[in-house]
C-alpha cells in the first residue's frame, strides 16, 4: 500500500473477480492501492455470465442483484450455489488508477461503472457481523444483462478461477467463501475433438482480437479510461461474431468450448 500525495483525489473500488489477485491488480494492471478492506455486499451475488473466448477463457466474473431469498440462490454454470452475499475487497485508489482499471477492463464496452453498498467485515473469518457496522459506498464494474449472458452455463478457465481463489486467500477472505470458489468446476478440454477445435478456433480469432485491442488503446480517454462509443460498438460486434462462429461452426463439430 502507498500513501496518497497531497491534493490527490481518490475513490473506493470493489474488486470481486481477477482483481482480487495481486498478480493481476498490482502486477498486470499496475494499480497501487492506498488501502484494502474486506467487505460483504448485501444485494449482490457473484456470477460467471460475461462471455469470454470459447475453448480458452469461456467466461468472466460479474455481479447480479438479488431481491429475495429465492433469488439469492444463484446457480453457477457448474451447479454449485453460494447462499450468501458477494464478498470482495474494497481498494482505495487514485482517480488516475481507477481510469487505468476502466481501460484495462474493456474501456466501458462491456462492464459499466456502478456504485454498491459494502459492509466492512470485522474479523478475519467473516462469519458474521455484530454491533455497529461500517458501510462503504464503492464503485465497481458490472456487465448489465444486455452486455452479459444471464442464461450462460459457461465455466471459468482453470487460470481465471485460480486468480479468484488465490486472491481470496491473499486477502484472507472468509474460509467458507474460499471453499465455495475452490469448489466451482472449471472448464477443461477432455476430448481430442475439443482440443482440435480449440486449436482451430484460437488460430482464427486470437490475432484479430489482439490487433483490435491494440487499436482500441489508441482511442482510450486518458482521463476516464473509457473508449469512444463507436469503438465500443465495434467491440460488441466482435464478441457477437466470436460467439456466432463458435455456436454455428465449431460447437456442432468439435464439441463444447464453454
> What residues contact residue 130 under an 8 Å CB cut-off, 6+ apart?
122
Rounded Cα distance between 128 and 243, Å, is: 41
What is the three-state SS of 20-59?
HCHHHHHHHCCCCCCEEEEEEECCEEEEEEEEEECCCEEE
**Coil, strand or helix at 99:** helix
Residue 15 annotated as binding site: yes
Residue 250 annotated as binding site: no
Residue 17 annotated as binding site: yes
Rounded Cα distance between 116 and 254, Å, is: 41
Active-site amino acid positions:
105
Q: Which helix (DSSP H) or strand (DSSP E) does residue 135 occupy? A: strand 135-142
- Report the C-alpha dihedral over residues 220, 211, 30, 45, rounded to 10 degrees: 80
Q: Of 203, 239, 223, which is closest to residue 102 (Cα–Cα)? A: 223
Residue 14 annotated as binding site: yes
Residue 10 annotated as binding site: no
Residue 160 annotated as binding site: yes
Residue 18 annotated as binding site: yes
Rounded Cα distance between 151 and 27, Å, is: 33
Q: Which residues are annotated as a binding site for substrate?
A: 13-18, 160
Q: Which residues fall in the annotated binding site? A: 13-18, 160
Amino acid at each position: 500500500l502507498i500513501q496518497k500525495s497531497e491534493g490527490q483525489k481518490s475513490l473506493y473500488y470493489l474488486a470481486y473477480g481477477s482483481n482480487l489477485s495481486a498478480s493481476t491488480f498490482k502486477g498486470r494492471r499496475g494499480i497501487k492501492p492506498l488501502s484494502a478492506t474486506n467487505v460483504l455486499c448485501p444485494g449482490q451475488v457473484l456470477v460467471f455470465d460475461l462471455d469470454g473466448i470459447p475453448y480458452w477463457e469461456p467466461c468472466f466474473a460479474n455481479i447480479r442483484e438479488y431481491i429475495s431469498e429465492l433469488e439469492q440462490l444463484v446457480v453457477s454454470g457448474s451447479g454449485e450455489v453460494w447462499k450468501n452475499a458477494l464478498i470482495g475487497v474494497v481498494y482505495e485508489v487514485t482517480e488516475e488508477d481507477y481510469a487505468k482499471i476502466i481501460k484495462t477492463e474493456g474501456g466501458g464496452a462491456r462492464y459499466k461503472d456502478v456504485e454498491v453498498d459494502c459492509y466492512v467485515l470485522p474479523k478475519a473469518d467473516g462469519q458474521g457481523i455484530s454491533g455497529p457496522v461500517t458501510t462503504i459506498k464503492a464503485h465497481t464494474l458490472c456487465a448489465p444483462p444486455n452486455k452479459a449472458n444471464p442464461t450462460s452455463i459457461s465455466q471459468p478457465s482453470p487460470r481465471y478461477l485460480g486468480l479468484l481463489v488465490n486472491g481470496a486467500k491473499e486477502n484472507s477472505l472468509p474460509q467458507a467463501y474460499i471453499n465455495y470458489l475452490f469448489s466451482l468446476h472449471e472448464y477443461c478440454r477432455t476430448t481430442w475433438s475439443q482440443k482440435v477445435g480449440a486449436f482451430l478456433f484460437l488460430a482464427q480469432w486470437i490475432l484479430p482480437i489482439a490487433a483490435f485491442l491494440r487499436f482500441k488503446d489508441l482511442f482510450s480517454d486518458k482521463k476516464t479510461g473509457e473508449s469512444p462509443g463507436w469503438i465500443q460498438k465495434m467491440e460488441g460486434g466482435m464478441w457477437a461474431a466470436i460467439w456466432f462462429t463458435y455456436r454455428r461452426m465449431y460447437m456442432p463439430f468439435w464439441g463444447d468450448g464453454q
